[in-house]
Amino acid sequence: MKLGIIVVYLIKEEDEKLLELHLSRIERHTGMPYTIYGCANRLLPKFIRLIEKHPRIRIFDCEHTNLRDSEEHAFYLEQLVKIAIRDGATHIVTLHIDSFPVRDGWADELAGKLSEFCVLSAIMRDEKYDRKPNTACMFFHRDFYLKYHPTFRLSGKETSFPAYKRYKKEYAHVPDSGVGYGFKIYLEGLAWHPLLRSDKDEDHCGIGSIYGDLIFHLSSANRELKCFPGDDARTVNVGNFRKAFVALRNFGAPLLPNKVREKAHMFLPRAIEDFLFPQYKTNEEAFITVKKDLLSDPESYLNYLRTGKR
């Protein structure tokens, strides 16, 4: 196996320890030869200097885009996968800067899930609300890529296809990066192996989880808006507002697309924003706590997730 690890290095200035943890855990648990194919188009110079010292990382000057969020991430992933394939990688795995393996043999185990019919092994973020491959860990063989040429996202035209509408109805999902691989597998009558959340205990169902007892994903390290599939269905304490207003929020808020939600803070008073989306404030508070616990003692926190014991 010649493993190509694909990572888009978009990192907040305060996340140097998270980057170091990501790199150290990959090195610690990856026994076979590997190369990290990285994009650092908008990476701060101090981080570029850090990763340039890593013997396994090759940084590429990818074609620039003005896209942001999931669209930007997918744009760079597409380029890096092509580079790794041209470089002779037999197996490809995408990771995020806040995802990494938690035990030895992870790549061999993921490779063992693949076959001519089962062409992908990946995180499934939510079994009810987001049943698609997630790019925090997507593992596949070069032959699958070369035969089917999947893309990480779908165009507007593709999402209007009747086949996509059937796919979305059968497999509820957020149509962000990774959906293109899921849809291609569906169209070709193939299958993929989902890595489901395997935590014995956790602090938040969407933040700081281990999947398949193989991959940890902090989640949302680079997203300002901490939103997760199923947020609107979860019970959130909104205080003593009248039931009519609560009913209005529960009916109206889920109808707003994420793009509108992400800009809400620009035109809504904070009190109204917290009323419409109280779960986002709760998510942000959980993220801060989980990230602090993880970075202060990674061994202890990962063991807590895997065993349920602190």
List CB contacts of 82: < 8 A, sequence separation 6 or more.
none
- C-alpha 17 chain-centroid distance: 19
253 part of a folded domain: no
Query: Average of pLDDT values for 123-140?
Result: 96
Phi and psi for 272 in degrees, rounded to 5? -70, -40
Q: Tens digit of pLDDT for each residue in 5-31?
A: 999 999 999 999 999 999 999 999 999
40 domain residue, yes or no = yes
Question: In what order do the strands lie in the sheet containing 99-101?
Answer: 99-101, 215-217, 209-211
CATH code of residue 68: 3.90.550.10
The predicted pLDDT at position 187 comes to 98
Range 43-72 average pLDDT: 92
Coil, strand, or helix at residue 172?
coil
Residue pair 160/173 in contact (Cβ under 8 Å)? The answer is no
How is residue 251 written in tokens?
Answer: 């009916």
The answer to whether the beta carbons of residues 37 and 5 sit under 8 Å apart is yes
**CA-closest candidate to residue 3, choices 137, 117, 141, 160:** 141
121: in domain = yes
Cβ–Cβ contacts within 10 Å for residue 296, how many?
A: 10
Buried residues in 100-119 as b, exposed as e (16+ CB within 10 A):
bbbeeebbebbbebbeeeeb
CA dihedral 120→126→128→132, nearest 10 degrees, is -30
Strand ranges, E, within the chain: 3-8, 34-39, 57-60, 91-95, 99-101, 118-126, 130-141, 191-195, 209-211, 215-217
As a whole number of Å, the end-to-end CA separation of the chain is: 36
Amino acid at site 182: G
Q: Tokens for 307?
A: 């065993």
Over residues 190-202, mean pLDDT: 95
User: What is the distance between the alpha carbons of residues 100 and 113, in angstroms, rounded to a whole number?
Assistant: 18
The pLDDT value recorded for residue 241 is 40
pTM of the shown model: 0.87
Range of 90's domain? 3-219
Phi, psi (degrees; rounded to nearest 5) at 236: -130, 135
- Domain membership flag for residue 107: yes
- Flag whether 247 is in a domain: no
> Does some domain include residue 106?
yes
Average pLDDT over residues 201-218: 91
Of 264 and 219, the one with more pLDDT: 219
Determine the pLDDT at residue 242: 37
Total number of domains constituting the chain: 1
Average pLDDT over residues 253-281: 59
